[in-house]
Amino acid sequence: MSTIQQNLQDVRQRIASAAQACDRAPEKVMLLAVSKTKPVAALKEAIAAGQRAFGENYVQEGVDKIHHFQESDISPALEWHFIGPLQSNKSRLVAENFDWCHTVDRLKIAARLNEQRPADIAPLQVLIQVNISDEQSKSGVALNEIAPLAAAIQKMPHLTLRGLMAIPAPENDYQRQLAVFGNMTQAFKALQQDYPQIDTLSMGMTDDMAAAIAAGSTLVRIGTAIFGARDYGAPQTAQH
C-alpha cells in the first residue's frame, strides 16, 4: 500500500474515532482531500483508495486537474471543491468547472458565480465563509453578515446554499479550538432554522479535525495528513 493510501486509512480512522467519541455517526463527517500543490499522480493514488472529493485553492491549478481527470472517466465521478480565496476575475473558471465553492464571502462574488454558472449543469453548491476568529484575515463575513448574504444567495437559481465554512486562526489548545468551532455550530444551527436544506458545516483541518468534529463539523478539509507537507516552491499548476 502506498503512503497516501495508508495516510487516507489513518485519516478515516481518526475521523471515525473523533465521531464515536462524541456519539456522532462517522458517515456524517465527509472527508475532503485537499490536494493543492500536489501532482495528479498523488490524486490518482487517493482515487485508487476510494477518495472522490478533492479541494483545491488555486483556480488555474484546480481547473487543470479537473480537465485532466475528466478524460479518465472515473466512476463514481470525482467531486471538486474550490476552497481558496476567490477574486472576481477568476469567478468564471470556478462557476464553469467546480461542483462546490466554500469561500463565498460577498454579494458581488455570489452574483457573479450565479450569472456565470452554466444553466445546463447542476447549480454550484456554495458555502458562506465566516471569519470566526482570525482578525488578520480579510476573508469571511462577520457573524451578523451571514443572514443577509444567505437571503441573497437563496434567490439565485444557479447557486444552492449548503451551509457555512470557516478557517479559524491556528490554535494548539483543544479546548480553545472547541470554543471557536462551537461558535460556528451555533451560527450554523441558527441558519438551519431559516433554510432547512442546509446540511454542510465545513471546518477542521489536519491540526484541528478532532475538535471540529466534536463541535459538529460535517466536512473536514484535510491536506497534510493525506498528502504530506506542501512544497510552495513548486509551480502551482498541475503536473501531468
Ligand X SMILES: *Cc1c(COP(=O)(O)O)cnc(C)c1O
Return residues touching ligand X (CB under 6 A). 34, 36, 57, 83, 167, 205-207, 221-225
DSSP tag of 141: B
Shortest reach from residue 75's CB to ligand X, in Å: 27
Length of the chain: 240
Helix (H) or strand (E) holding 102, with range, is strand 100-104
Shortest reach from residue 120's CB to ligand X, in Å: 29
Of residues 14 and 36, the one with the C-beta less far from ligand X: 36
Of residues 163 and 223, the one with the C-beta less far from ligand X: 223
Q: How far apart are CA 113 and CA 194, in angstroms?
A: 23
Of residues 72 and 174, the one with the C-beta less far from ligand X: 174
Of residues 119 and 232, the one with the C-beta less far from ligand X: 232
Which residue has the CB atom at the shortest distance from ligand X? 223
Shortest reach from residue 224's CB to ligand X, in Å: 3
* Angle (deg, nearest 10), helices 146-154 and 174-194: 40
Shortest reach from residue 84's CB to ligand X, in Å: 6
Q: How far apart are CA 114 and CA 215, in angstroms?
A: 31
CA 59 remoteness from chain centre: 14
